[in-house]
Amino acid sequence: MTSARSAVAGALLLGCAGLLAACGSAEPAPPPTEAPPPTTGTMPWGGDLGGFGDRKQVRCDAGDQAVRMAWQGDSRFLICRKVTPGDDGTGERYLRAWTTGRPGMPNEQPPAFHQGRFYTLTDNSLQFLTEDQVKFDIGPTAVTIEWPQEPGSRTKQFSTIRTGEGWSRLD
């Protein structure tokens, strides 16, 4: 009796194995998902590898990568890296910023959008320059904005926004 049960069990196992083999897909398996890039800091709520989700003006162009995000209150600062096929991760960097106006302006002034091109690298910051000559200095815990000198003025105006650590992509 035991040998009959063993024979039946063996036949069932072979039948199941055959059915399982027949259930395979003709489609190739999808490629494994990529591991997320190494980062430091905390991604802002609603943010992703393309930028800030709450302000469409502060998102990278399609296909480009966010490499630094800093924020405080209504201000958002995003550094993006242009990605091209065969790129080794050294694509051109550009800035997207959403921030209030220059010092001395009425507080009711709505935030403005700025887009800048990479200007220079200092010991502890990246600097960007916009077409209207506003310079953004993105440091580890603050953003300093140098506004263009007003005609007839003897001094330049600066704004410093303490952003905290923000988020940075490390690759």
Q: Does 32 fall in a domain?
A: no
Q: Does 28 fall in a domain?
A: no
Domain that holds residue 132: 39-169
Q: Is the pLDDT of residue 21 over 70?
A: no
Q: Does 18 fall in a domain?
A: no
Q: Rg of the chain over CA atoms, in angstroms? A: 27
Q: Does 1 fall in a domain?
A: no
Q: Does 9 fall in a domain?
A: no
Q: Is the pLDDT of residue 17 over 50?
A: no
Domain count within the chain: 1
Q: Does 29 fall in a domain?
A: no
Widest Cα–Cα separation across the chain: 108
> Residue 83 is which amino acid?
V
Alpha-helix residue ranges (DSSP H) falling in 23-105? none
| pLDDT in the model for residue 8 | 47
pLDDT digits (tens, 9 = 90+) for 97-154: 988 766 665 555 666 888 889 988 888 899 999 988 899 999 999 999 999 888 888 8
CA distance 71 to 46: 12
pLDDT digits (tens, 9 = 90+) for 41-94: 888 888 899 999 877 889 999 889 999 999 998 889 999 999 887 776 678 899
Contacts 24+ apart (CB under 8 A), 82-87: none
Q: Does 86 fall in a domain?
A: yes
Q: Does 31 fall in a domain?
A: no
